[in-house]
Amino acid sequence: MQEASVAGLIQGRSVITEAPQSSVREAARIMAGHRIGAVPVVDGRHLIGIFTERDVLTRVIAAGRDVDQTRLEEVMTRRPETVSVECPLSEALEVMLDGRFRHLPVMADGEVIGVISMRDIRLQHHKLWAQGGEVAEPV
């Protein structure tokens, strides 16, 4: 049985991105409005970073920065790890565990097409288990 890929997690979702010049407040509003914990930061179609709820806490609030004056390019995580859309879920989970992060951009043809979260993987794992399917363990 072939293991599920990350494609199944992002199917039917549209990717929400932000520009590097966007303010932290703008990004936080988008994230809250869409109930997401991270946004890819893109320059044109090129992924240059990711901005997460953890970045808001550690790099903005705890650092005493102004959410209206601080731009994402100043506080985002640069050159984030990514996975391809064909990547098996177990490999994506391993990347996240090894890197100690909860959000992972998904790429296809050099463009970001989605973001998966640790929660997405847990829910998919539970769904497969509940259906009696084979659940692959991380390598």
For residue 61, being part of any structural domain is answered with: yes
pLDDT score for 22: 98
Domain assignment present for residue 1? The answer is no
Instruction: List the pLDDT tens digit at each of the 139 positions of the chain.
Output: 457 888 888 888 899 999 999 999 999 999 999 999 999 999 998 999 999 999 999 999 999 999 999 999 999 999 999 999 999 998 999 999 999 999 999 999 999 999 999 988 887 766 766 666 554 554 4
Q: What is the DSSP string of the chain?
A: -PPPBTHHHHTTPPP--B-TTSBHHHHHHHHHHHT-SEEEEEETTEEEEEEEHHHIIIIIITTT--TTT-BHHHHSEES---EETT-BHHHHHHHHHHHT-SEEEEEETTEEEEEEEHHHHHHHHHHHHHTT---PPP-
pTM: 0.85
pLDDT at 139: 42
Is 139 inside any structural domain? no
Query: Looking at the 3D structure of the chain, how many domains does it have?
Result: 1
48 within domain boundaries: yes
Kindly report the CATH number assigned to the domain that includes residue 72. Answer: 3.10.580.10
Domain annotation covers residue 51: yes
Find the domain containing 44 and state its range: 6-131
